[in-house]
Structure 1
Amino acid sequence: MAVVDQCSSSLNLYVDSDDVKKLLGVNSQLWYVQNGTVNKYALGYVVVVPPHVDLLTFHWQALGGMTMPYNMSVQVGNREALAPPVYNISDQSIVPTYPSSWTIRLICTGKLTTQVDVTITIKVPMSTSLVNTPTLNIRRKKICLRGKVGGISERDGEVGGISVEVLEARHSTTVVYITISCLGVFLLVVAFLAIFNHIKNNKARPNTGRRRGTGASEQRTVGRSAASGGNVPNNQVSGDSGGAGKTSQSSLSELRRSPQPTNTTATTTTTTGSPEPQYTDPRLSDISAKLTGLSVNKETLKLLEVEQEGTFGRVYHAVYQPPDQKQPLSVTVKTVIDGSSEVQRSVLLSEGVMLAGLNHDQLLGVLGAVVTPPEAPPCIIFPRSSQGNLKRFLQGCHTLVTREVVGVGVQVLQALSFLHSRLLLHKDVATRNCVVDEGLHVKLTDCALARDLFPSDYHCLGDNENRPIKWLALESLAHKVFTPAADVWSWGVLLWEVMTLGQQPYAEIDPFEMSAVLRQGVRLAQPINCPDELFKAMTFCWTTAPRERPTVDELVIYLTNFQQHLDRYV
């Protein structure tokens, strides 16, 4: 902790581990003041309060038997979305000399879906003199959902025994004044922007024939106006150079890579003449050689129940008896139905064994393949994952805390880092092509049967090829150019999927319009519960120029540092 002030009279102020677990997913106490020492890292961190959490509990105690008066107030950023907070202690009183707790209830009105800034200000002298009274600003960001009042349905009428209508009436006059003031500020901003735009257009007229770029600085988001750079709302509170917020910003800036030549083809060279690494698609490797080492007898495999089924593909829970082991294994099997075409069988084999022979903790290996007799449907055998497909798992989740989202993202990045180190490209990075075990242990898999099992994720643009249009980088979509930077773009979409619990990206955009929309700078919107640091990492992945995107290893370093800063707050 960083020492701000330490005096003869001491104070303890903290959030206990149970409440921290609900908010951050960390089983640890969050100390704001401990024995009179102020933790400025904790005060500088904005804690997101999920929609289902309404009650905030704080614990405090005046130490040393000294009389310690306090003055407390609570400020709310949007009173239309959040009713005036209700707390169970006085605005002015004495801090108890014994361990005690107090609560603040944040009651959403149900009128808007938004994030509301809440600041709890406590002024308390931690010395024998009242001349120097430190001010503690504890910040929260409450998520409110339209139609949900205080975490329950609007039809329930009251929350915590207090009528929402009564709470709103207490401050109706204030709301009117705030609304008028905001409207005036809005009109001034609009006028300023109009003047600025007029001046800018006049200066740009001589260059009207030049096409404007659509780099990261010009990205727009779907459903929410936000640039990929500094215009994204920031959860961090600015402070001195030692503050966590500034550290996070400086490490984020390192994701912007120095300009390098774009690797548009396998023979592209740098300005110094040295050749770029030639990356290959593991689907194009010698399938027969892989199958020779994977082939097992059909009698060693027993299919049980069907777990997923498409038009021609099926995923089974099965039991497999390896020839070199005594005990059978519970496995997952990908296969096709009887009567499937030769093309469908060939695609299953080429994509099903694309990761065969690669050993990494974050890659799902292949245990074996049944390819005889030739007229029977082939079967690819994989280790079984307890939670199954990651996309289906996310869609059945209630929520994930930030720590868990970062963990999933880092594990997929580690798998990509391994593939790229072998000069291999995945070309279809998405949650549908991942599996998950207990403890959110995630592995990147092949993409066999993905087109059949997740048909809404793939589209054909008239070229007789089903592609994951809304996960593809712009250069991959427009020119079918694939590089490690294209995998990074897709990973950014995957992280957005994890943050939104498996929602469909660009759901409102027609697949045939995706290329034009991306060229205009449109990008996915920031999820309502997504920390700014994570969203900025996503938007860097979606820059138009591949050379400006961060590498996989740079993203691993950034997310690891972000996780460490998160741990430092608790």
Structure 2
Amino acid sequence: MINSSFFTKPQMPYSIALSVNDISAIGTPTINITRKGNVPTKEQGRDKERANYSLSELDAEVDVNIYVNITMSPNSNVTQLTLKRKKICRQGQPQRKSLEEESVLADASAMVASSNPFYIMIGFASCAILLVSLAALFCYYRSQKGHNPDVTNSYAGVTSHLSSSKAGQSFLRVDTPNHSSTISKTGSQYWSFRRLATPSSLQGTLIMPVHNNTSSISDLHHASRLSDQIMELSVERRRILLREKMQEGTFAQVYSGILIEDRNNETNSSSSEVMVKTVSDQASKMQVSLFLIEGMSMYTLQHRHVLNVIAACIDDPQRPLLVYPLMNKGNLKLFLQKCKFSPEGQVHTLLTQDLVSIALQIIQGMIYLHRRKIIHKDLATRNCVVSANDDGTLLVKITDNALSRDLFPNDYHCLGDNENRPVKWLAIESLLKKEFHQASDVWAFGVTFWELMTLGQQPYFEVDPFEMGAYLRDGYRLFQPINCPDNLYDIMVCCWNAVPEERPTFPQLLTFLSEFYTALGKYI
């Protein structure tokens, strides 16, 4: 049993996290100090604990990483350490379930941390390496103290981004009209949620992607937030009844269903019609994790034209269910294609005024998302749903992109970077530089508007995905759809300006299209 402690005279904020690459071989490790707080200013007492053991299920060599962030002073950047080691696991031999014997043992009450401290149950740490590293950090701090005499509490987190008709088409090289506007580049900004401990039922499900054999503390924090959100929406499986299968991919499944209101198990409990997204047994753990991450992206959002998740069920961690309000016409892209190819009279007949109304509703939803500092990054008709009202009008809502890659595989392509992206909807800067902001969502809206006017035709159908960057750089854009008024096509072209600052904003688009919609109504 190894006991140790660490301290420093000035207060220095720290955060710590652990990860392993094979949790099935080594079990779920823990560390018994708070995940975030201040390094103690004096040596604390040592608390001895007994290590728990379990039998390893397989022979494996497990990579173990410990990540430590320490802020030396308000004027210095965050110092991040990544400590690595390997653990040999033998089948049938005892393995540690916790890190008390090889990790830092410190009195949790000594840490000045945020309320409700919690333990990250990912990783395995080496005590000796950690002590040496902290000593080195302390020496470094002492050497820097003369340059930064006023040392106060500061903490900066480490951030990372967890990220048709087959007829021939002609592509036009257009001179983009100059509708200058000021674009506020918000970058990839997301929501802030309470950070609680990862529920044990999700620990085998929430696997954050690991890049370059390391995992950032920000990714681990995101997993904890995601777990918190799912638990707040959690319902029992008995309350969800699956009915008709609406869509299906290789592993993705979308059902219509019933969500039963829980009223102390009364027989007269009310119910509501819902749409349920889930996965089959063919889905990998990484695909399940991505499904949950993307499916919860609209969590807490409340807007007439944004579809938010209303319930989740994780009774079976390998087949989680996400529940949404039901839109009776389903996916917008499939709805448009039915209207195009089905005999007249069997499906809703769409007029130009209907299509402009749909575009206006999408714009209103995007204005709301941008006001909430959310960049969608995958706006398209496939990520919208539609419902017909009693008066025949259509209600459209923007959705998350959970399972879209599997349900619409022809809309996504991998350009050799191991990332499946909606290449033909991406702005030129997003495609070439992976830059995303409000103006890149405007570009995607231009392509979405083109989809509306063509009733779900595939954009750039004849262009190889690997050639899209060159096509856009050379100034080529989508052609004007048949029966599309010039004014509407001009709006699309403005959205495809190569300079993000020259594209219209969504409020400007709302004004343009509202005026056109009003004028169109006078002639109908």
TM-score by length of structure 2 reads 0.57
Shift of 1:544: 0.2
Shift of 1:371: 1.0
Which of the residues 142, 156, 170 maps onto 1:223?
Answer: 170
The residue that corresponds to 1:419 in the other structure is 369
The residue that corresponds to 1:565 in the other structure is 519
CA contact (8 A) 1:319 1:328 kept: yes
The residue that corresponds to 1:337 in the other structure is 280
Shift of 1:280: 1.2
3-state DSSP of counterpart to 1:360: coil
3-state DSSP of counterpart to 1:543: coil
Q: Percent identity?
A: 46
- Find out whether 1:543 has 2:490 as its counterpart: no
3-state DSSP of counterpart to 2:521: helix
The residue that corresponds to 1:487 in the other structure is 441
CA contact (8 A) 2:330 2:387 kept: yes
CA contact (8 A) 1:282 1:355 kept: no
Q: Which structure shows the higher helix fraction?
A: 1
CA distance in 1, matches of 2:497, 2:228: 39
The residue that corresponds to 1:291 in the other structure is 230
1:413-457 deviations in Å (ceiling 9; x for gaps): 111100000111110000000000002210000100000000000
The residue that corresponds to 2:309 in the other structure is 366
Which of the residues 275, 280, 305 maps onto 2:189?
Answer: 280
The residue that corresponds to 1:307 in the other structure is 246
CA distance in 2, matches of 1:287, 1:535: 40
The residue that corresponds to 1:430 in the other structure is 380
1:134-173 deviations in Å (ceiling 9; x for gaps): xxxxxxxxxxxxxxxxxxxxxxxxxxxxxxxxxxxxxxxx
3-state DSSP of counterpart to 2:262: coil
1:517-565 deviations in Å (ceiling 9; x for gaps): 1000000000011001110000000000000000011000110011122
Shift of 1:305: 2.5
- How many aligned positions are there? 311
Shift of 1:317: 1.6
CA contact (8 A) 1:282 1:425 kept: no
CA distance in 2, matches of 1:229, 1:550: 12
Q: 1:225 to 1:365 in 2, by over 3 A?
A: closer
Which of the residues 328, 347, 351 maps onto 2:294?
Answer: 351
CA distance in 1, matches of 2:311, 2:353: 35
CA distance in 2, matches of 1:333, 1:282: 24
Q: Alignment RMSD, CA only?
A: 2.2
CA distance in 2, matches of 1:410, 1:493: 14
5+ long unaligned stretches in structure 1: 1-220, 231-252, 264-276
Q: 1:341 to 1:525 in 2, by over 3 A?
A: same
3-state DSSP of counterpart to 1:223: coil
- Find out whether 1:379 has 2:321 as its counterpart: yes
CA distance in 2, matches of 1:287, 1:440: 33
Which letter does structure 2 place at the counterpart of 1:431? Answer: T
Q: 1:261 to 1:486 in 2, by over 3 A?
A: closer
3-state DSSP of counterpart to 1:317: strand
CA distance in 2, matches of 1:261, 1:339: 43
The residue that corresponds to 2:333 in the other structure is 391
Which letter does structure 2 place at the counterpart of 1:367? Answer: I
CA distance in 2, matches of 1:364, 1:524: 29
CA contact (8 A) 1:359 1:365 kept: yes
Higher gyration radius (CA): 1
CA contact (8 A) 2:187 2:437 kept: no
Q: 1:321 to 1:564 in 2, by over 3 A?
A: same
CA contact (8 A) 2:169 2:461 kept: no
Shift of 1:566: 1.9
CA distance in 2, matches of 1:468, 1:442: 21
The residue that corresponds to 1:410 in the other structure is 360
- Find out whether 1:526 has 2:515 as its counterpart: no
Q: 1:225 to 1:308 in 2, by over 3 A?
A: closer
1:494-516 deviations in Å (ceiling 9; x for gaps): 01001001000000000000001
Which letter does structure 1 place at the counterpart of 2:370? Answer: H
Which letter does structure 2 place at the counterpart of 1:396? Answer: K
CA distance in 1, matches of 2:514, 2:381: 21
CA distance in 2, matches of 1:347, 1:261: 30
CA contact (8 A) 2:251 2:406 kept: yes
Which letter does structure 1 place at the counterpart of 2:396? Answer: V
TM-score by length of structure 1 reads 0.52
Structure 1 ranges of 4+ moved more than 6 A: none
3-state DSSP of counterpart to 2:339: coil
Q: 1:431 to 1:520 in 2, by over 3 A?
A: same
Q: 1:227 to 1:342 in 2, by over 3 A?
A: same
The residue that corresponds to 2:180 in the other structure is 257
CA contact (8 A) 2:273 2:326 kept: yes
The residue that corresponds to 1:473 in the other structure is 427
Q: 1:434 to 1:262 in 2, by over 3 A?
A: closer
Q: 1:262 to 1:346 in 2, by over 3 A?
A: same
5+ long unaligned stretches in structure 2: 1-167, 193-218, 341-348
The residue that corresponds to 1:460 in the other structure is 414
3-state DSSP of counterpart to 1:425: coil
Shift of 1:326: 2.7
1:190-232 deviations in Å (ceiling 9; x for gaps): xxxxxxxxxxxxxxxxxxxxxxxxxxxxxxx9615463557xx
CA contact (8 A) 2:187 2:436 kept: no
1:250-301 deviations in Å (ceiling 9; x for gaps): xxx8xx124x5884xxxxxxxxxxxxx4541469852112112111111111
- Find out whether 1:317 has 2:253 as its counterpart: no
CA distance in 2, matches of 1:383, 1:261: 33
1:331-373 deviations in Å (ceiling 9; x for gaps): 1111011242110110110111110100000001112000124
CA distance in 2, matches of 1:315, 1:294: 19
CA distance in 1, matches of 2:338, 2:522: 31
3-state DSSP of counterpart to 2:287: helix
The residue that corresponds to 1:78 in the other structure is none
CA distance in 1, matches of 2:367, 2:464: 32
